[in-house]
């Protein structure tokens, strides 16, 4: 079991490579636009894991549960921002999984969503997920705070304490990795794009 100590959280990717290397199953999550995909690709390349996208299979809680139960996936890194709203539901299925929660400046994340035209669609999709968390799980969230703020609040006030293995990574801490592309060259990137010239 590995958990960062809340009072001494260091979010530098390079300081946790030894921890990440201890796991064959890694889930990278957090708000859309916080660096989930590039972090998953970096981990895939650094640790030789099989990359599994998984996002399309984690919209509903039962889909996420089935993904975790898939015995054919024993060696993967999965990026799935949408599954962040389900993490607290199945801690017993995360015993051998490292959850990496991505951090990035909230205004940068909002700008990403606006630039890619996914503001309304994500508010609707994830708004429904968090409304279920409020209604069915009895967790106190205020959706009017904003999608990113709600995502981080749920993680920090409830999910951290129940997820067996987790670390937090700051998106900008990846800047010294060979796969990193400077922000000035990413300004026209589309959703899910991680490389110059890539057609996601």
Q: What is the DSSP string of the chain?
A: --B--GGG----GGGGHHHHTT-SEEEEESSTTSSHHHHHHHHHHHHTPEEE--GGG-SSHHHHHHHHH-TT-SSEEEE-GGGGGGGGG-GGGGTT-EEEEEE--HHHHHHHHHHTT-HHHHHHHHHHHHHHHHHHH-----GGG-HHHHHHHHIIIIITTT-SSEEEEEGGGGTTSTT---HHHHTTPPTT--STT---
From CA 167, how far away is CA 169, in angstroms rounded?
Answer: 7
* Position 180 pLDDT exceeds 60: yes
Asked which of 6-15, 79-88, 159-168, 182-191 is least confident by mean pLDDT, the reply is 182-191
**pLDDT (tens digit, 9 = 90+) per residue, 111-132?**
989 988 889 999 999 999 999 9
Domains, the chain, ranges and CATH? 6-175 (3.40.50)
pLDDT of residue 72: 77
Q: Kindly give, in sequence order, each residue whose CB lies less than 8 Å from that of residue 184, ignoring residues fewer than 6 positions away.
A: none
Q: How many CB atoms are closer than 10 A to CB 95?
A: 10
pLDDT of residue 182: 62
**pLDDT (tens digit, 9 = 90+) per residue, 38-92?**
999 999 999 999 877 666 667 889 999 998 998 777 899 999 999 999 999 999 9
Q: Of 137, 174, 175, 171, which is closest to residue 157 (Cα–Cα)? A: 137
74 phi and psi, to 5 degrees?
-110, 5
Q: Which one has a higher pLDDT value, 192 or 148?
A: 148
pLDDT of residue 5: 66
Q: What is the pTM of this model?
A: 0.87
79 phi and psi, to 5 degrees?
-100, 125
């Amino acid at each position: 079991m590995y958990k960062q100590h809340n009072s001494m959280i260091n979010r530098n990717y390079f300081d946790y490579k030894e921890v990440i290397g201890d796991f064959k199953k890694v889930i990278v999550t957090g708000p859309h636009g916080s660096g989930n995909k590039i972090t998953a690709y970096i981990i895939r390349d650094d640790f030789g894991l099989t990359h599994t996208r998984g996002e399309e299979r984690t919209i509903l809680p039962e889909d996420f549960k089935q993904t975790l139960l898939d015995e054919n996936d024993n060696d993967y890194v999965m990026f799935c921002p949408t599954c962040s709203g389900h993490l607290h539901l199945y801690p017993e299925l995360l015993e051998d999984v490292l959850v990496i929660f991505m951090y990035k400046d909230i205004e940068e994340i909002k700008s990403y969503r606006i630039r890619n035209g996914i503001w309304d669609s994500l508010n609707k999709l994830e708004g429904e997920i968090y409304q279920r968390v409020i209604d069915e799980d009895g967790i106190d969230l205020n959706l009017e705070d904003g999608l990113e703020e709600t995502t981080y609040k749920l993680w920090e006030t409830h999910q951290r304490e129940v997820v067996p293995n987790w670390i937090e990574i700051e998106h900008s801490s990846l800047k010294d990795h060979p796969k990193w592309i400077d922000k000035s060259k990413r300004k026209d990137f589309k959703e899910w794009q991680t490389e110059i010239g890539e057609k996601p």
